[in-house]
Amino acid sequence: MTLLTVADKTYLCEKEETVLEALLRGGVAVPYVCKLGSCQTCLVRSLQGTPPELAQMGLKDTLKKQRYFLACRCYPTEDMTIRLSDQSAFYRDGIVTKNQMLNHNTMLLEIKFADAFEFYPGQFVNLQRRDGLTRSYSIANIPQQSNTLAFHIRRLPEGRFSEWLHDELETGDTIAVSEPRGHCFYLPQRSEQGLLLVGTGTGLAPLEGILLDALQHQHTGVIHLFHGVCEVNDLYRSDFLQDLAAQHDNFTYTPCLSGKFVPVGFAKGYAHDVALATLSDLKNWRVFLCGHPDMVNQMKRQAFLKGAAMRDIYADAFFSA
- Residue 292 C-beta: closest distance to other proteins, Å: 15
Tell me what percent of the chain is helix, strand and coil, each rounded to the nearest 5: 25, 30, 45
One residue of 7, 12, 34, 116 binding other proteins per CB under 8 A:
34
Contact 17, 55 (CB under 8 A): no
Cα(98)–Cα(191) distance, rounded to whole angstroms?
A: 34
Cα(92)–Cα(218) distance, rounded to whole angstroms?
A: 32
- Residue 217 C-beta: closest distance to other proteins, Å: 26
Q: Binding to other proteins by residue 9, rule CB under 8 A? A: no
> Cα dist. 229→198, 220, 264, 314 in Å?
11, 28, 16, 21
Q: Binding to other proteins by residue 319, rule CB under 8 A? A: no
236/318 with CB nearer other proteins: 318
Chain mean position to CA 193 = 19
One residue of 3, 31, 35, 238 binding other proteins per CB under 8 A:
35
Q: Binding to other proteins by residue 232, rule CB under 8 A? A: no
- Residue 104 C-beta: closest distance to other proteins, Å: 33
Q: Binding to other proteins by residue 305, rule CB under 8 A? A: yes
> Cα dist. 138→15, 31, 205 in Å?
42, 28, 6
- Residue 315 C-beta: closest distance to other proteins, Å: 8
Q: Binding to other proteins by residue 85, rule CB under 8 A? A: no
Question: Site map for other proteins, 264-303, x if CB under 8 A?
Answer: ---------------------------------x--xx--
Which ranges constitute the DSSP H helices of the chain? 19-25, 61-65, 160-167, 204-216, 238-247, 271-278, 293-305
Closest CA to 140 of 219, 241, 256: 241
Cα(161)–Cα(128) distance, rounded to whole angstroms?
A: 9
Q: Binding to other proteins by residue 64, rule CB under 8 A? A: no
One residue of 8, 88, 132, 310 binding other proteins per CB under 8 A:
310
Q: Binding to other proteins by residue 36, rule CB under 8 A? A: yes
195/313 with CB nearer other proteins: 313
E-assigned strands of 143-285?
148-154, 174-178, 195-200, 223-229, 251-257, 267-268
- Residue 251 C-beta: closest distance to other proteins, Å: 27
Q: Binding to other proteins by residue 54, rule CB under 8 A? A: yes
Stretch in the footprint of other proteins (CB under 8 A) among 29-37, 179-187, 209-217, 274-282: 29-37
Contact 171, 97 (CB under 8 A): yes
One residue of 3, 5, 40, 156 binding other proteins per CB under 8 A:
40
Please report, as a single letter, which amino acid is at residue 96.
Answer: V
Q: How many residues bind other proteins (CB under 8 A)?
A: 22
> Cα dist. 292→47, 76, 126, 206, 320 in Å?
32, 40, 18, 13, 9
Cα(87)–Cα(283) distance, rounded to whole angstroms?
A: 36
Stretch in the footprint of other proteins (CB under 8 A) among 27-35, 170-178, 188-196, 199-207: 27-35
Stretch in the footprint of other proteins (CB under 8 A) among 120-128, 144-152, 168-176, 306-314: 306-314
Residues at the interface with other proteins (CB under 8 A): 16, 33-40, 54, 57-58, 73, 297, 300-301, 304-305, 309-311, 313
